[in-house]
Amino acid sequence: MFPRPARRLPQAVALLVLAGTLTAGAWADPRDAAEPDRSDRVTHVPATPGAGTPLAGFAVRSTAQVTDSAAAVSSPGYPATGWYPTGPRSTVLAALLANGVYADPFRSTNQQKIQKADFEVPWWYRSDFTVEDTARRTFLDFSGVVSAADVYVNGHRVAGAADVTGAYTRHELDITSLVGSGTNTVAFRVRPNDPNSDLTMGWLDWLQPPPDRNMGLVRDVLVRRGGPVALRDAHVVTELAVPSLATARLTVKARARNDSATPVTAEISGSVAGTRLTRTVPLAAHETKTVTFTPDDTPGLRLTGPKVWWPAGMGGQPLYDLALTASVAGTVSDTAHETFGIRDVRAPLNADGARQYRINGRRLLVRGGGWSPDEFLRWDRAYAEDRLKYAVDLGLNTLRLEGHLEPDEFFALADRYGVLTLPGWECCDKWEGDVNPSGSGKKWTDADHRVARASMAAEAARLRDHPSVLSFLIGSDSAPNATIEREYLDALEAADFTAPVVPAASDESTPRLGRSGMKMSGPYDWVPPGYWYAKREGGATGFNSETSAGPSIPTLDTLRRMLTPAELDSLWRDPDARQYHRSPSATFGTLALYDHALAGRYGAPTGLTDYVRKAQLAQYENVRAQFEAYGRNATDAERPATGVVHWMFNSGWTSLHWQLTDRYLDQNGAYFGAKKANEPLHVQYSYDDRSVVVVNNRHTGEHGLTVRATLFDPDGTRRYDGTVTGTAVDGDGARTTALTLPASVDGPARTHLLRLVLTDAGGTVVSRNVYWLSTVPDTLDWDDTDWYHTPTTGYADLGGLTPMARVPVTATAVTRSAEGTSTTTVTLRSAGTGTTPALFTDVRLVDAQGRPALPVRWSDNEVSLWPGEQLTLTATYRTGDLHGSAPQVRVSGWNVPERTVPAA
């Protein structure tokens, strides 16, 4: 418990509890600023016991512009003239953006024009709520204050910034004696944020940091009502029998707290998994007891044939509900509800010291991406859900959250879609101030230790029942020292957090947990595709917690939305130009490494369109190789690959690097390269030894497969054709080598195309994969490897792709719609008369104005067709995202003339 503030009113009691509701700022549209919730929408708080009602919105204003006293500002009826209305969760800058104060910060350099000085003083947040029944007890329940705040209710201060500090600490303030019938007012005086001084949230090199540094209220502020006995901290601890999965044991816990000054007897009742729970609990005045139901005293908590939760692609995602009620003298006093899943996660170190996850007894290769929230922490459920659906579409099973821990709704969606999460504290700022000598965070004080313990306790309690939470990383680039580790682990244990705890995302260790079993050896900037196959540095061995080949150039559609014509011109002409939309870091400020490699391998760009098409080809092959290498090596007997997190999955703004999908949910070559690599049953080429391998990510084995590998010159001349029949491969990530390509083939070409086709026993094509390869290898200077890349001293020669003859591709499309969802089926056919294939044929769903309809999930894309070949692709999307327009399909490609056809 924090020290009591100096000016606490005696009738206002503050409680720090060990569970929280994490939310982020309101944002109704993923592409444009939303209309804010009106501040004059007074929140009606019902008297229903157990109700937790979020305040509907706030009015905000800088303290530099408010001369009235805190008592006046926080009193009902105060005229908030000139204040900015905003939603229930909002940073200061998010509120100002929603009110049109600034131009779109994601376009060009608009964000640079926002004055940071405006956010170096506290800001007021003010909201009104009404109650009718004052016989109920009333509490303010909140977290997500960035960075600290004084809290006032009806003209009285109920907590000070010395207590209410830290983005992740959770607070419950008893305001019963201050609340009256009718309108009541709550006000927060929020202090500026400094991630190097405060245990809050910050940004490193993902994007240009927001000028307000995310100061504000980024989680819901709840008004709770109840009777004399409060139920808190309700949760379920699950134990699943592994490997049989035949039985499970549930232990239900909750804290019953008597908030009255007299003894009471509480009746605790409820249900879980079809079992009734009941317990009589005597409580002295102001006493709290933990109520526990175990399989020993409640046999129904011993389940036979439990519904087991699995990650997507491994099984279903069933969930259970816990409902509890506390009654006094036959009257309901409080209620509690929790949703949970039954699953077992283990994460031992393998013989090589790498972290090897197992879920429900089955080995798990973590195929992940780094998750970013919106830069201004604006929360929109539909936008988050769309991105989670993209993760599943890509075949990813895990998202890593380095700090910026998302709201409860995010983890509930992850539970629903079967996406595992790796939450943890962030690197390099105050969170690592005591342990990271290269970071910018200040050393911890005693007060910081208290905030850290409370933060860990609150997040552990919030996350423990979510089956999607795979682990918690208590360190990122650096591991905590012995003191901090002990504080974290004690808080996790007290909260019954049962998922594995990892000391750091890097190769570090702590006294109690030992080695992390992870590596953070890069790369973060461009390396060639063959890099990923080396079992060294960031290559496919062990668990790489964050890595990629860096830049990820968006589509032309997105680039034209985010950059001015002059910036677009500089993008392709000047590799050494500072790119505001790449990173604030000096290391990643330009695209020089990437651009030199692009020109060295594919030829110098001749214009913006040529630059972007080469970028998509390069990003496809590189991201595909990254995931394919880790997938191939996952079952190696020596130094297997156990996990890889592509850095990153998405960006919090309009970015030129570290993303598989962009801010507008458009999909570039990186997206479709990852999707191809992570197919459930997949045929792939190995850059290191020329082997053609089948990887089976399905649970059951496959047999009777046929693998065909054909090597062509770019003009379509066939140089090699090999077929292997009767191929079999076990399940759960197993692989089998079907054949090995010859070291050389006839002909003068230095660039070749490799087509791989995998068919099942019935003759159906189940995987199709096309590579562009060179007889001249990329050459890596391993001895000069640094923290962010390995230099390339010689480039592969892919220039043979440039003179490929233009090949027309015909397209017919038809759309079917039902219940708000549309599916467009596109049939592509190579209509060329010669032998040249149509390489990297890209299909986009657009409206009548040519604007992409997003989000969209394609069955496949960026495909290659040989003369006479026909492929059918499907696109699934929300009908409303066409905004009433008839759908059209835009087809283009590496050597495919662009055309648009109707798809109605």
Low-confidence ranges of the chain (pLDDT < 50): 1-39
Partnered with residue 150 across adjacent β-strands are 189
Set 393, 477, 525, 778: catalytic member: 477
CA-based end-to-end distance of the chain: 62
Alpha-carbon distance of 102 to 125, in angstroms, equals: 20
267 carries an active-site annotation: no
Tokens 């000598």 locate to 437
- Rg (C-alpha) for the chain, rounded Å, is 29
Set 233, 380, 415, 546: catalytic member: 546
297 carries an active-site annotation: no
pLDDT tens string 518-538: 999 999 999 999 999 999 999
Phi/psi of residue 269, each to 5°? -135, 165
Cβ count within 10 A of residue 300: 15
* Per-residue pLDDT at 40: 52
Alpha-carbon distance of 869 to 893, in angstroms, equals: 15
Alpha-carbon distance of 512 to 470, in angstroms, equals: 20
Q: In the sheet where 221-226 sits, what is the strand order?
A: 13-15, 171-174, 137-142, 221-226, 52-54
Share of the chain above pLDDT 70, in %: 96
Residues 6 or more apart whose Cβ sits within 8 Å of residue 69: none
Mapped onto helix, strand or coil, the DSSP state of residue 732 is: coil
| Per-residue tokens: 270 | 């409820």
| Per-residue tokens: 248 | 């499970």
pTM of the entire predicted model = 0.94
Residue type at 524?
A: Y
CA 464 to chain centre: 18
Q: Judge whether 853 and 847 are in contact, CB under 8 Å.
A: yes
CA angle at 374 for the pair 436 and 668, rounded to the nearest 5°: 100
